[in-house]
Amino acid sequence: MSEPQTTTVEVRLPSRMGYEKVAMSTAAAVAKLMGFREDRIEDLKTAIAEACINAIEHGNRLNENLSVGVVLSAGEHALEIKVIDDGTGMKKQPARPDIDRKMHGEEDPRGMGMFLIQALVDEAEWVSGIDGHSSYVRLVIRLDKEAA
């Protein structure tokens, strides 16, 4: 019996705002090769962009000497993405954004990245590096061939 094949693509990004678009393009190309629908590719692009922005801004604190690793593992039924930085990881999940509180100045207008990630992919988990760095977010988006 043959093992299901996984194809891996890796990208390293500088910790500079804007370079999340390289990860977006790469993930979109892999997802397209796998047969994802266009609307799911758009979801994936936004989720991976937000994950990379968090890694650049919060994980690596915009230190251009550090890079962000993006590992895409294309399986038979799903695409798994790990976005790896040199930060210590998430201490706690931020609260779900509340537009009314934002509009009334009771909540920062920012802080929607993690909410978007969770809403747009099938699985999202944040893992803190055991040695105080190499933390990552792991995203999974499943291939829904019925709807393709």
User: Token digits for 140?
Assistant: 């999974």
Q: Which of these ranges, 29-37, 73-81, 112-120, 134-142, lies near another protein under the rule CB under 8 A? A: 112-120
Rounded to whole angstroms, the Cα distance separating 107 from 94 reads: 12
3-state SS assignment for residue 51: helix
Nearest residue (CB) to another protein, 17 versus 33: 17
Nearest residue (CB) to another protein, 18 versus 35: 18
User: How many binding residues for another protein (CB under 8 A)?
Assistant: 29
Q: Which of these ranges, 3-11, 17-25, 79-87, 140-148, lies near another protein under the rule CB under 8 A? A: 17-25
3-state SS assignment for residue 85: strand
Let me know: does 68 contact 87? Beta carbons within 8 Å. no
Ramachandran angles phi, psi of 39, nearest 5°: -70, -35
Q: Of 37, 82, 102, 133, which lies in the binding site for another protein, with binding defined by CB under 8 A?
A: 102
Binders in 36-55 for another protein, by CB under 8 A: 39, 42-43, 46, 49-50, 53
